Chain A
């Protein structure tokens, strides 16, 4: 199914992995923020660094949110794929069920007592010269 038709379980797993990368980006941002907060370096250069680092940290938090969004989008997609698979399965089951009914009814019509087959056999036997 996964090659011909994607496996939603696999899609959910990929979404989880993307979410874990988002968490890792957040963890890194937290670690850097803590290090910058306790930094004892002072002066003009340190202010330039702090501004630069602050901007990167903001980007990291935003990037983590964007990765979470992508993971959510993949989960929604996996859910829809699962819906399509369920629909196809149900349709297939319905077709199978309908086929079985038709075979049973037609068979019954043909072979039951006093059915079509019995009547035919009776006609044939009547016309056979004794």
Chain B
């Protein structure tokens, strides 16, 4: 489980990410634009008073008083830093801020693209040195190769960008995915309503220990009677393409990676329907690895067809960089990635920095590919690190999901999804 004391986390995106700041800058620009319009209109109206005929005839009675007023008003309007100048300045700041925001966003996108292609090379030398030292000491070649990858998982991004992702995007829609068979596996009476992200991740880990395709639909009810649902979607159980009935196999992985709908996703939605999740219930989808990709795709499709109201998605060690940008603002996503886990890099893309997409990188595991990707070893303790984190994006996500953490009762329906041909 690793050390119990919270480990540092690094976070991108979310309410404190670049896009959020970009939105802030644009909102500020809009405020200055509004003041520019307001001030310009006021200056025009006030100029009109200077040529009011009634005002001129009043000068017959008090010419000096009229002259003083006109001089004061002209000074306020057109004098040094007067109202007209303020209108122009506010308009200029509006334009400058919008240009700055656009430049920021463009620079950020360029940096991410650069990182996806070359970041792996930066860490390659120390990773290779570490692996060579290990090889010299133990002569264990597989262990040395594993060390290179887990020390520098960004190498996987560079490798995947060199062709496999593009190949997958072209071939995935052609892969035969059959259809989902959903079998009711009964009600699991163990477990309490979650109180933290670690509890949510713990429940996913528990379901992950079950049969291939086994998922949970947990109906939780708050003190005020509000119903919500948490759906646990475990990841890959087999890499054997001949195990066709295993819904978690390579076909689902290849399709979900590039955002093609899968039978696994259809099975999850069918299970939710069977469990009695209503279209008005708030839903949190929680997925590990392949399950995370399926969760994102399900959230995307639910946002389109409104079959279910998915408000939150939590992924653990899932390569969702190719699909997550399409999530609408109504869906908040927390992508938890272990620093040494290579699986989140299989998409070859850094997760986009969006207000509703928070990517939190935790530092857990022991340097082995399987261990660094494991729920019990890396992601459950990593979730506890996030519970203890003060990062604004993480706390914002968790406070937004509070309704899922203060339920008074839970009923866990379990289903097994298999693929029918």
Interface on A for B, CB 8 Å cutoff?
Answer: 2-8, 10-11, 14, 17-18, 21, 24-25, 28, 31-32, 35-36, 39-41, 45, 49, 52-53, 56, 59-60, 62-63, 66-67, 69-70, 73-74, 76-78, 80-81, 84-85
Q: How far is the CB of B130 from chain A (nearest CB, A)?
A: 35
Given A18-B73, A59-B89, A70-B72, verify A80-B49 contact (CB < 8 Å): no
Q: Check B42–A3 contact: CB distance below 8 A.
A: no
With A and B bound together, what is the CA distance between A24 and B34 in angstroms? 12
Q: Check B76–A70 contact: CB distance below 8 A.
A: yes
B-side interface size class: 35 or more
Contacting A at CB under 8 A, from B89-117, are 89-90, 93, 96-97, 100
7 A-B pairs whose Cβ atoms sit less than 8 Å apart in the complex = A6-B61, A35-B31, A39-B28, A56-B90, A63-B81, A74-B73, A80-B62
Q: Check A76–B61 contact: CB distance below 8 A.
A: no
With A and B bound together, what is the CA distance between A24 and B366 in angstroms? 62
Contacting A at CB under 8 A, from B31-87, are 31-32, 34-35, 38-39, 42, 45-46, 49, 52-55, 57-58, 60-62, 65-66, 68-69, 72-73, 75-76, 79, 81-83, 85-86
**Does B25 belong to the interface (CB within 8 Å)?**
yes
**Does B16 belong to the interface (CB within 8 Å)?**
yes
With A and B bound together, what is the CA distance between A53 and B97 in angstroms? 11
Given A53-B93, A77-B68, verify A66-B31 contact (CB < 8 Å): no
**Does B207 belong to the interface (CB within 8 Å)?**
no
Among B45, B68, B89, B90, the residue within 8 A (CB) of A21 is B45
**Does B184 belong to the interface (CB within 8 Å)?**
no
Chain A residues with CB under 8 A of B278: none
Closest residue of B by beta carbon distance from A65: B76
Q: Check A4–B82 contact: CB distance below 8 A.
A: no
Closest residue of B by beta carbon distance from A15: B69
Q: Check B58–A77 contact: CB distance below 8 A.
A: yes
Chain A residues with CB under 8 A of B100: 45, 49
Question: Which secondary structure dominates chain A's binding surface?
Answer: helix
Given A66-B76, A81-B58, A81-B61, verify A41-B21 contact (CB < 8 Å): yes
Q: Check B21–A11 contact: CB distance below 8 A.
A: no
Q: Check A6–B81 contact: CB distance below 8 A.
A: no
Chain B residues with CB under 8 A of A45: 100
Given A35-B28, A40-B16, A41-B24, verify A77-B65 contact (CB < 8 Å): yes
With A and B bound together, what is the CA distance between A8 and B68 in angstroms? 16
Given A11-B55, A69-B76, verify A5-B46 contact (CB < 8 Å): no
Closest residue of A by beta carbon distance from B16: A40
Chain B residues with CB under 8 A of A63: 76, 81-83, 86
Chain B residues with CB under 8 A of A10: 54
Q: Check A14–B52 contact: CB distance below 8 A.
A: yes
Q: Check B42–A21 contact: CB distance below 8 A.
A: yes
Q: Check A73–B46 contact: CB distance below 8 A.
A: no
Q: Check A25–B42 contact: CB distance below 8 A.
A: yes
Q: How far is the CB of A22 from chain B (nearest CB, A)?
A: 8
Q: Check B93–A56 contact: CB distance below 8 A.
A: yes
Closest residue of A by beta carbon distance from B73: A70
A-B contact count, CB below 8 Å? 128
Given A41-B21, A49-B97, A69-B72, verify A80-B61 contact (CB < 8 Å): yes
Q: Check A49–B93 contact: CB distance below 8 A.
A: yes
The 4 closest A-B pairs by CB, nearest first: A6-B58, A77-B65, A66-B76, A70-B72
Q: How far is the CB of A56 from chain B (nearest CB, A)?
A: 5
With A and B bound together, what is the CA distance between A14 and B48 in angstroms? 11
Closest residue of B by beta carbon distance from A82: B61
Chain A residues with CB under 8 A of B86: 25, 56, 59-60, 63
Q: Check B90–A2 contact: CB distance below 8 A.
A: no
Q: Check A85–B61 contact: CB distance below 8 A.
A: yes
With A and B bound together, what is the CA distance between A8 and B97 in angstroms? 46
Q: Check B38–A24 contact: CB distance below 8 A.
A: yes
Q: Check B93–A24 contact: CB distance below 8 A.
A: no
With A and B bound together, what is the CA distance between A30 and B143 in angstroms? 63
Q: Check B32–A70 contact: CB distance below 8 A.
A: no
With A and B bound together, what is the CA distance between A70 and B74 in angstroms? 9
Given A40-B21, A45-B100, A59-B89, verify A11-B72 contact (CB < 8 Å): no
Q: Check B76–A32 contact: CB distance below 8 A.
A: no
With A and B bound together, what is the CA distance between A66 and B68 in angstroms? 12
9 additional A-B residue pairs with CB within 8 Å, beyond A52-B96, A63-B82, A81-B58: A2-B57, A31-B35, A32-B31, A36-B28, A41-B28, A53-B93, A76-B65, A80-B62, A84-B62
Chain B residues with CB under 8 A of A80: 61-62, 65
Given A39-B24, A63-B76, verify A77-B38 contact (CB < 8 Å): no
Chain A residues with CB under 8 A of B58: 5-6, 8, 11, 77-78, 81
